[in-house]
Every structure is written in structure tokens, then in C-alpha cells.
A and B are shown apart, each in its own frame.
Chain A
């Protein structure tokens, strides 16, 4: 690859040591690259270390082994320009702040006026302008997750990490949020890594799917998704190639490397 990848991971391993020294291996020998503007999805069963991988990429967790390069330099702390949408909006949004103040939180230090302007812009992108002065718990689940997306993009991150962001909303809302995410990421020029257990979602959104094995998570296979964009949910699902990808990934998830 001529261009420097945005993310390069090599030999990444992480084991958690619990009480009484009980060791739980979460990730083992993970290696992959992600190019700028490439949408990568990571799929695997629950408990396979997907979230741990994402936390390592964000610098929230320190790997035991291996290295992560972000934009050509090794990740030691929390890299600049990285942002996360967490799985549970009701646990990641601050109930004591209004929607606008939640969204402004990451850009607080830029001053009140600038922060509020950026927050308003981000809320416009997720179509929540009218709810800026509400509290998160006054909104529906789908709307709360849009607030979480707005908060993640308010700082115009280069790398957007999403941890099963649509796992707790209904199917219709999920489809809308998937489209919204693709649109917004393109608008701000963010490269996205999506962690999900939903194979369909991974195929519908990603350029490439990394399949993780059961614990400890290893990459079983990288599946490039060659489907035309924009991918209309209903039309794409009807394509024979979509069904093929689905079958392949299903089989891979059960496999031991």
C-alpha cells in the first residue's frame, strides 16, 4: 500500500486478570490495516473481544502485546481526532446535561460560543435541532443514539469508532440510523470502524468485514464487500451476492482459526 494506512495493528493481544488472578484472554494476535475513508466492520459473537479491540484502538485500554499505529505513529495515550459512539446511549449520555450541552461536552474547551455553534451544527446533521434544550431521558431511544452520534462528530474526528451503536433500537430506527451514519461520516470526512454482532448490518455498511473468532478473539478472515453504493437496505438484501456474503460470514464466525 503506497499511502499510509490510518490504522495499522500488529500482534495485538489483551488478557484481563480478574479477582484471585483469574485470567481471561480477550484478544490474541490481531493484525489488520484500515485505509483512510475505508469503512471497516468487525463482527463476532458477543464476548469475543470486539469491544476490547475498539477500546484498544481508542487508547482507553492498554494492550499487553502488539502495537497500534494511528496515522503512522504508535498509539500510547488517547490519540487526537479519535471519537467513539458507545453502545448504550442511556449509559453514555449525561442525564444532568441538556442535549446541546451533552453534544458540546467534547469541545467545551473551545469556549462557550464556539462550542455551542459546533453543537448546533452537529445536531443539525443528525436532525435534532428542535430538541437541543431537552434532556436526553426525555427523548426516544433512537433520538438518544442520534445525540450520541452528534456528540461523537462535534469535534470533526478523523477516526470514528462505533461500538454496536444500533443494538438497542428497533429495526426501522436502525435502518435510518445506518443511513444517517454513512451520510454524516462522509460529510465530516471521518473513517469509520464499526463493531457489531449483526452480520447484515456489517455487509450493508462496510467496505470490508473483519470476522473475529470466539474468545480469545482472533481475525479468522477479512471479507471485502463488493456491493454497489449507495446500498438501499431492501434492494441490497435482495441481491444474490448479499446472500453469499451472509452465508460466508456466518460460517466463518463459527470457525476456529
Chain B
């Protein structure tokens, strides 16, 4: 932790020096970017973006988990849907933005839909694989105990789903920024793009710093949640590995 802070500090000092000695005016020092942070309106610029990212992430993850576990469980479905799924997931998500703007308009809902559609894939694929390879004995125990299979499937696939959700969270943040760079009037992505267009170079870097802090915050929160929910899993793994 301490060593990491030292490295981060050195990098910032390097930025500061490079910014002060540069002559193009396109690379302001760190201190100038920090001064611009004060200009960013958290309520108007940051929270709506964060809200859309989190909403899209949650909707996409839920849809991915339900579809993935469903397809993984009903094996007969898989040959029918696999090729279509492989094709759809191979499409880079930003490509659907222009389509979404036409179909849904330049609304907040459109941006959430695009984020959800992109965040869904890793969870869906992990859900299919984890459910297909679930320990068959768990299901036997459920059946012989008169319990429905999902009672054991859900906890058994949860570690895989949460690991995939971590990936989905990163994708959701990327899609948040990209979606705000097209037909947008607000949000962090819009702020960064607008700053660049108006040569508000300091503000552009301030936007990027906020974006980094936002991503760091939600990723850490998700990590905390995961450790809470999967305490048994990490403890068991630690035991088996060590």
C-alpha cells in the first residue's frame, strides 16, 4: 500500500514537471487539472452518469444471470441458441449505439439500455458455463431431499457470476463514457468531449480524473460486496491453495 502510494506520487510529480515544461499548451500540469476539478458539478455531471452506469450494470447482470443459468440448465436449448449468442456477443457493443439512438432516441433510457446490453454478455456466458458444469451430486442431493434444483444451483454458480460481474462492471463504465459522447447533452463523457472541443484542456483532464475516481469507487464497493457474499468461497479457496 505504502509503496504503491510512493509510485503514484512519483507519477504525479512527473506529470506536474512535464506539464510545466511543455510548451504546446495541450498538456497542463497536474495542479491545473486539479484546480479545474472544482468546476465539475457532481450533481449535474457525475451522479447522472454513475446512476446510468450502475442501473445498466445491474439490469444487464440480472438479465445475463437469468438467461445464462436458464440456458445452462436446459441443455437442450443450447444447440438452438449457441450460434446466435456467439454472433451477438462478438459484436463490439459501441457499434449498436447509432441503432439505439434511432430506435430509442437520445434519452437516458437509451444509454442505460446500451450499457445493460454490453454488460450482460460476460455474466450470460459465465452463467451458461458454470451451470453446465455444476457438480451433479448437488442436484442429486436436492432431488432426493425434495428441493427444487435452483436452491442449490444459485449458490453453486454465484462465485462464477460475481467474477463475471466484475468484468461487466468495467464494460458498463466504458459504455457509459462512449454513450455520453454520442448525441448527448450531459454526463462525464459529454463533459470530456466538450472540454476537448472548446480547448478547455484543464477541464478535459479533470473529467478524466473524476472518471478514474468513479471507476475506482464502484469497483472497490463491488469488491467489498463480493467478499461479504462469498466469504465461504474465498476462505475455502485460501485453505485449498495454501
Contact = CB atoms under 8 A, between A and B. Distances in A.
Interface residues of A, number: 22
B228 interface: no
A246 interface: no
A78 B144 contact: yes
A88 B146 contact: no
A151 B145 CA distance: 10
A91 interface: yes
B74 interface: no
Interface residues of B, number: 20
Nearest to B236: A137
Contact of A137 (B144, B146, B155, B239): B239
B143 A78 contact: yes
Nearest to B240: A137
Contact of A92 (B141, B155, B240): B141
Interface in A118-172: 135, 137-138, 151, 155
Interface string A81-122: 011101010011011100000000110110000000000000
Contacts of A256: none
Contacts of B239: 137-138
Contact of A105 (B135, B145, B236): B145
A96 B140 contact: no
A60 B142 CA distance: 11
B9 to A, nearest CB: 42
A86 B137 contact: yes
A105 B137 contact: no
B140 A135 contact: no
A135 B144 contact: no
A83 to B, nearest CB: 7
Interface of A: 58, 60, 78, 82-84, 86, 88, 91-92, 94-96, 105-106, 108-109, 135, 137-138, 151, 155
